[in-house]
Amino acid sequence: MKSLKPLLFLVLCLALTACAPKEKAPELDLDYIAGALTSSGYFPEPLEAQDPELVPGLLNLYEDRISASPEDIAQARFTMSLGMVADQFILLEAKDHAASERLEAALDTYAQDQKSAYEFYAPGQAARMDDPILEHAGSYLLFAVGADRDGLSELCQHLMSGEEVDLAAFQPDISAPSEPEPSGPAASEEPPAPLTDADKAAAYDAAMDYYLGTAFEVQTLTEISLPAGWEGEVAFRVTCSKGGMKQDPDRTISLERKDGAWTVVSEGY
């Protein structure tokens, strides 16, 4: 009988351990994280926050090839560089864990799409999409491309753990390269043939389709003249309203042709 006591004690301990509440993943303040990243110095070019309503379109969540859907996103923050560089960060809170797994796959596809786009109009930036920072904590995701990848990665890990950080302790190494040298055929490819009226009409239709399902109601799309070297891209000035209120200033949207189809590469003010 004595020999059963240790066994009973062990069984009781295991039962209590199984019943103990599991540690809940921290709730993250996306605005705090976005503000910290914007002020961190890891994004040397000026940044611009994009309207969260447009994040599903920017991530191509309306396309059949993407398993995630716009409904998978509970909230989002998306900030990108105004220059011709890949600097950007995307913060997502998924509606549940399964949705976060789908959104992580969508971010991987987004990086591949962005690399293809940069290979066309900014070859020196394309390689930066080979290894973006992607943090996944509970139902939260953070995608980032900036200067000094190692330093930025460490900062992202701390932010995604729910910590308040002292940015003075996470100063970027300004000697770290932010623009890899162009390599591969993209650097030497001949420019594409000039776009025809049919090409531009198809780009116009793709731009209009992009806004379907968003909060924006488009009144007009006006083509913007692009400088030499941008022959395969089309940009439009977008006159639109949101909730019945005209948006001022007008927005802009840029599209690039890939495998015969037009893809949005940037959208915002």
**Residue 31 pLDDT greater than 70, yes or no:** yes
Q: How confident is the model at residue 269 (pLDDT cuts 50, 70, 90)?
A: low
Could you say which architecture CATH assigns to the domain 197-268? Roll (3.10)
Which residues make up the CATH 3.10.450 domain(s) of the chain?
A: 197-268
Question: What is the rounded CA–CA span in Å between residue 205 and residue 218?
Answer: 12
- For residue 11, count CB atoms less than 10 angstroms from its CB and return exposed for 0-12, middle for 13-18, buried for 19 or more: exposed
How much is the pLDDT for 212? 85
Q: How confident is the model at residue 160 (pLDDT cuts 50, 70, 90)?
A: very high
DSSP per-residue string spanning 144-166: EE-SSHHHHHHHHHHHHTT----
How much is the pLDDT for 219? 92
Q: What is the pLDDT of residues 78-97, one digit of tens each?
A: 998 876 788 999 999 999 99
**Residue 239 pLDDT greater than 60, yes or no:** yes
